[in-house]
Amino acid sequence: MSEQDQITTDPTKPAQRMRAGSMTISATPWIIAAVLLIAMPYLFPSRSALTIMNQMSITIVFALAYNMLLGQGGMLSFGHAVYMGVGGFVAVHVMNLISDTGAPFPMPFLPIVGGLFGMGLAMIVGSFSTRSAGTVFAMISLGVGELIAACSVIIVVFFGGEEGVSGYRDEGLPFFGFDFAQQIEVYYLIAAWLMISALLMYLYSRTPIGRMANAVRDNPERAEFLGYSARWVRYYSFAASGFFAGIAGGLFAINYEILTEENLNTASSGVILLVTFLGGVGFFFGPIIGAIAFTLLQTVLSLHTELWAFYAGVLFVATVMFFPGGLAGLIMMHVPVFQIGKAKQLVLPYFKTLIPGAVAVLGVSALVEMTFHYRHAATGDNEMTVFWTTFDSHAILPWVIALVVTFGALYLTRLNAPSLREAWAEANTPDGGAA
Amino acid sequence: MDLILVNIIDGLVTGLLLFMLSAGLTLIFSMMGVLNFAHASFYMLGAYFAYQISLALGFWMGLLIAPLIVGVMGAGVERYGLRRVHQYGHVPELIFTFGLALLIEELVQFIWGKNQMPYQVPDVLNFTAFAIAGNSIPAYKIFMIFISVAIFIGLLYVLTRTRVGMIIQAALSYPRTVESLGHNVPLIFMGVFGVGTALAGVAGVIAGPVLGTFPGMAFVLGSIVFVTIVIGGLGSLWGALVASLLIGWVTTFAKSYNIAMSDILNGIGFSTPENLSDSLWRDLWTVTSPQIADILPYILMVLILIFRPYGLFGKRDA
Amino acid sequence: MTAALELSGLRKSFGKTEIIRGVDLAIGQNERHAIIGPNGAGKSTLFNLITGRFPQTSGHIRLHGQDLAGKAPYEINRMGLSRSFQITNIFPKMTVFENVRCSLLWSMGYKYNFWSMVSKSRALTDGADQILEQINLTARRDLPAGVLSYAEQRALEIGITIAGGADVIMLDEPTAGMSHSETDYIVDLIRKVTENKTLIMVEHDMGVVFGLADQISVLVYGEIIATGRPEDVRANSKVQEAYLGEALEAEH
């Protein structure tokens, strides 16, 4: 393992920062986040922006909950959507109960109900699934996930069959005068829960059980010889993760007012794995970045291309193969460079390599789009638009242009890559001695 | 009685098909410790390739060539993908194969679109082999049984009787020792991965015409295959065989005999509630065995894991 | 006074092969006891039986008079027995400090606590820093444990083993693979940290064994052929014949 890998996968950096500095230093990111969350609706007041931000916040809570398992506990789940989903379904049922009986229950407390039921389910499943981590755990999570997803068409009373269960969020007891009929009110409700749950999850990772989750992840046998049962440590992580996943489910219920089979199935579980891994499992803030990046990417790409799932798949596989630390890992790789004070030396090499690289990626995606259009468009419909340019996908010229641009850019990238590598090594070497 | 015989044959076909997938999967797992999530995707690729080849060269060439292509692709995935990810540890390996499964599904949609392909049973085999009490048994089913059994015997022969098989068996337990004896273990790994995926390819070629060749086919069968090897015990070839047949028969029988839950509940002394449609338990009362046939394997898996965590034939915890 | 650790009629078979063939041994409080023997004698198996890594076939293991049958490793650890491993077994991705802090958690009564912050506990931080001081790794405090040198990792391993305050310490070949100077360093360290504790160790280096141990047991083919003070064991003809003679020769 090289020095670089250790930096990207080192989960202990936040701990150091916290110990080294006073409380004010570690509180800064949280204050910035809170201010940003409050200010966002003023910066982006449109309805669609609010929709995206709500979706983003819910995904962040879920991804952070998922990373309690994957990043901190070393447990890979292929069926985590069911804990969010079941939490959400219960929340909708409670919402309907409020509507039907007029029970005085304010909406902002609904996610707690979702959380408790998510945790309850996790406690049942965890009782047999946390015996081991690794492959067996992954398989059980998949099997249980499939089982519950399949139940959704059978247990119609609870899951509502094909059409799901829906409710109304604005019939609860008003909370300081808000009834959450307006989207902006829902935004602040979700944002508040995002802050609360993120902070709680962060603090959880600083508790004895949170620290032992890391120890069990790295070396379960050694942890047993320190007095901790690896299985119980995993069980606690699993239950806690189920709780916060359920909270995300409750938020989903409030935001969308409907839950369906889609909230439970393996595709949803796969998406949250993708989001978390893309962001980076080694750092607490990784899933946050992942959720933001993924939601934006999904929104933008799905507007412009039918193939967005294909691109997401490519991105996922590429991340696993080449950047196992995810986006957070990439960011944290640069910390030593800044500490040494040589970050400036990297600007030019980055420009020289990454711009042709970006052009090459766009070129390849243009070729992919053209191939897809050539193969699948209705006969006679030869016209297509890529990157604001409309042309005939059956003509030669566009293909020649796309190929030349792509391969030219690829060539430039390869040409400049060695100098970037050199600059990187140089920037990581402190003056006057080896690293 | 006659219906039972028909169901036994149907269940056997499903079970053997499952076994062709689970055999390769379990072989790869016990050798490399990697659970190949994309295994069923290679099965799908087998079906699609065979369809494409059958358009030009006919079914039989498809049966011959498609598994070869799939095997080569599998070996390539091991060589250029898995081996690279291996250094990061087990969890990233699993995530990699999961990502690959997503990617292959998208790729298939990209090339062939979302619709089912008109991949058909070849005319030579498109007749009724025999009939049992009015239930006709198509010749193609007999052909499927024949192919699967032949492959199983071949696999058993290679593993237990040939030199390569000996080396593979030794490499299963002592990869280091085998490597120090001068055998190229990475090459063996690549080979096993290739053969395992090629087996999945064969399964795809022969299952495509009956189960349908569509982008979701990997997913439909994939999770059942994982359940199979968990039930059988991770890494056990015999366990995979027994579990495959078990699942094949259980699901087939559950589908063909319409057993209603209300009958069972009445049978053990519960009486049906008067106003069933208002009852919270109505779904439990109205459920029938064909409805839950597809989730029976999952229920079976959960039960097995609770009472026998290593599966039916599993020895060690992976 | 009950022995710190008492083995009686202990047997272990793997399949048809009997590896431990009836071991009886009593190790007193505050004794430094070394178990020696040729390769394949079953020393590591004995260690693994005592620490609950796998169950014995028959016989009894008693820690402070309490039977350990059927206890999981973590339960045995909570009863006051701690062990190190032959192959370095630390938490490589966590910092050195954090390695030690984790090993303090249970003994400081935190159990499965999820409501207090580890960094807020003065006792925890000071305790971990004290251990670091003892094993001379204060300078490495905030490095990931995986990047330490081999000898430093072995020292950390010992630190983790003693941190929990167990009074019976078992070390499995603590000096394996070390140079002479590193060995001297570790021996001093072991002497220092096992003051007023019961030490049981498996060791191949006779210099270390005779320098540290009050009592020595010789294990050959799953049986203890001699137990006694170092000079007695050295003089024992059975031991000389079976093992020690050639090992002593190799030493000089």
Greatest C-alpha distance within chain B: 75
Nearest alpha-carbon partner for B145 in B10, B294, B255: B10
How far apart are alpha carbons A164 and A152 in whole angstroms?
9
Kindly state whether A6 is in contact with chain C, defined as any CB-CB distance less than 8 angstroms: yes
- Identify all chain A residues contacting C102, using CB atoms and an 8 Å cutoff: 211-212, 215, 223, 226
Bridge partners (DSSP) of residue B138 are B128
Contact assignment for A76 to B223 by CB distance below 8 Å: no
Quote the pLDDT of residue A187.
Answer: 94
Residue type at A297 in one-letter notation: L
pLDDT at A204 over 90: yes
Q: Does A227 touch chain C (CB under 8 A)?
A: yes
Nearest CB neighbour to A320, from listed B95, B219, B295: B95
Q: What is the mean pLDDT of residues B246-275?
A: 81
Give A47→chain B minimum CA distance, Å: 32
Selected for mutation to probe chain C from A18, A225, A231, A339 (highest C CB count within 10 Å) is A225
Tens of pLDDT, residue by residue over B7-30, are 888 899 999 999 999 988 988 888
- Sorted by sequence, the CB contacts under 8 Å of residue A228 that are 6+ apart come out as A212, A215, A216, C74, C105, C106
> What pLDDT is stored for residue B246 in this prediction?
93
A219:C106 CB<8 A: no
Q: Is C17 exposed, middle or buried (0-12, 13-18, 19+ CB in 10 A)?
A: exposed
How big is the CA angle at A196 (ends A254 and A199), to the nearest 5 degrees? 140
Other beta carbons within 10 angstroms of residue C196's beta carbon come to 7
From A43-57, A244-258, C111-125, the region with the lowest mean pLDDT: C111-125
| Average pLDDT of every residue of chain B | 85
Rounded CA-CA distance A198/C246 in Å is 64
Q: Pick C98's closest partner by Cβ from A12, A204, A229.
A: A12
CB contact under 8 A, A12 and C144: yes
Helix (H) or strand (E) holding B153: helix B139-161
Q: How many CA atoms lie within 13 A of A60 on its CB side?
A: 27
Residue length of chain B: 318
Q: Does B230 touch chain A (CB under 8 A)?
A: yes
> Cβ separation of A16 and C93 shorter than 8 Å?
no
Q: Which of A415-424, B40-49, C210-219 has the lowest mean pLDDT?
A: A415-424
A209 touches C: beta carbon within 8 Å: yes
Mean pLDDT of chain A: 86
d(CA B53, CA B32): 32
Higher pLDDT, C145 or A10: C145
Return d(Cα C130, Cα C104) in angstroms, integer: 11
Q: Which stretch of A3-7, A302-306, A411-415, C213-217 has the lowest confidence by average pLDDT?
A: A3-7
A426 C-beta neighbours (distance < 10 Å), count: 13
Q: What is the pLDDT at residue A211?
A: 92
Q: Tell me phi and psi for residue A21, to 5 degrees.
A: -95, 180
Contact partners for chain B, using 3 or more CB pairs closer than 8 A, are A
Q: Rounded to an integer, what distance in angstroms lies between the CA atom of residue A38 and that of residue A35?
A: 5
User: What is the pLDDT, as a whole number, of residue C245?
Assistant: 54
Q: For chain A, how big is the Rg over CA atoms in Å? A: 24
Which 8-state DSSP code applies to residue B272? P
Number of domains in chain C: 1
User: Is residue B72 pLDDT above 90, yes or no?
Assistant: yes
C-alpha dist (Å) from residue A40 to A43, A55, A134, A251, A306: 5, 14, 40, 19, 30
CB pairs A-B closer than 8 Å: 123
Query: Tens digit of pLDDT for each residue in B194-208?
Result: 999 999 999 999 988
pLDDT at A69: 94
Q: What angle do CA B310, B313, B314 make, to 5 degrees?
A: 35
Across the interface, of B81, B91, B287, the residue whose CB is closest to A74 is B91
CB B305 within 8 Å of CB A140: yes
Residue C250 confidence (pLDDT): 55
Q: Which residues of A375-400 are buried (b: 16+ CB within 10 A; e: fewer)?
A: eeeeeeeeebebeeeebebeeeebbe
Q: How far apart are CA A71 and CA A325, in angstroms?
A: 11
Contact, C218 vs C38, CB < 8 A? no
- Residues C169, B289: Cα–Cα separation, whole Å: 59
Residue partners of A11: CB distance under 8 A and separation at least 6: A71, A72, A214, A282, A283, C93, C94
Q: How far apart are CA A60 and CA A55, in angstroms?
A: 9
pLDDT for the residue C247? 57
- CB-nearest partner of C91 from A9, A222, A236: A222
Higher per-residue pLDDT: B96 or A416: B96
b/e map of A138-158 (b: 16 or more CB within 10 Å)? bbbbbbbbbbbbbbbebbbeb
Q: Inspect the interface and report whether the beta carbons of A310 and B106 lie closer than 8 Å.
A: yes
Domains of chain B by residue range: 2-257
pLDDT of B317 > 50? The answer is no
C-beta of residue B187 within 8 angstroms of C-beta of residue B197: no
How confident is the model over B227-250, as a mean pLDDT? 88
Place of tokens 């204060």: C138
How far from chain centre, in Å, is Cα A317?
Answer: 15
Give percent of chain A with pLDDT exceeding 90.
42
**Helix extents (H) in A258-307:** 266-279, 286-304
3-state secondary structure of B135: strand
Work out the pLDDT band at A202, boundaries 50, 70, 90.
Answer: very high
Q: Is the model's pLDDT at A406 over the cut of 80?
A: yes
Q: Rounded to whole angstroms, how far apart are CA atoms A88 and A121?
A: 12
Q: Is A434's pLDDT higher than 50? A: no
Strand C215-220 to strand C66-67: parallel, antiparallel, or no bridges (unpaired)?
unpaired
Is the pLDDT at A136 greater than 60, yes or no? yes
Sequence-distant (≥ 6) Cβ neighbours of residue B69 within 8 angstroms: B45, B49, B201
Q: Which helix (H) or strand (E) holds A321?
A: helix A308-322
Kindly tell me if the per-residue pLDDT of A5 is higher than 60: no
Query: How close C166 comes to chain A (CA, Å)?
Result: 10
Residues forming beta bridges with residue C227, ordered by sequence position: C217
Asked if A138 contacts A77 with a C-beta cutoff of 8 angstroms, the reply is yes
CB-based contact, A1 to chain C, within 8 Å:
yes
The dihedral through the CA atoms of A254, A258, A264, A266 has a sign that is: negative
Please identify every stretch of chain C with a pLDDT value under 50, giving residue numbers as ranges: none
Question: Where does the pLDDT of residue A22 fall: very low under 50, low under 70, confident under 90, or very high at 90 and above?
Answer: very low
| Interface present between C and B (3 or more CB pairs within 8 Å) | no
A40 three-state secondary structure: helix
Contact (CB<8Å) C98/A211: yes
- How is residue A127 written in tokens? 């009782």
Q: Using CB atoms, pick whichever of A16, A227, A236 lies closest to residue C142.
A: A16
Report pLDDT for A432: 57
Q: What is the CATH number of the domain that holds C49?
A: 3.40.50.300
pLDDT, mean of residues B39-65: 92
DSSP letter for each residue of B194-228: HHHHHHHHHHHHHHHHHH-B-TTHHHHHHHHHHHH
> Are the CB atoms for A186 and A254 separated by under 8 Å?
yes
Decide if C215 contacts C228 (C-beta within 8 A). Answer: yes
Question: Which domain range does residue C57 map to?
Answer: 5-251
Q: From CA A119, how far away is CA A238, in angstroms rounded?
A: 8
- E-state strands within C104-241: 168-172, 198-202, 215-220, 223-228
CA distance C51 to C47: 6
Residue B5 burial (CB count, 10 A): 13
Q: Assign B315 a pLDDT band (cuts: 50, 70, 90).
A: low
Tell me the per-residue pLDDT of B97-125, one tens digit each, with 9 for 90 and over: 999 999 999 999 988 988 888 888 887 77
| Tokens of residue B35, six digits | 């659970």
Would you say residue A8 has pLDDT above 80?
no
Q: Give the strands of the sheet with C81-83, arranged side by side.
A: C81-83, C168-172, C198-202, C32-36, C215-220, C223-228
- Residue for token pair 């690289």: A357
pLDDT digits (tens, 9 = 90+) for A338-347: 887 777 888 8
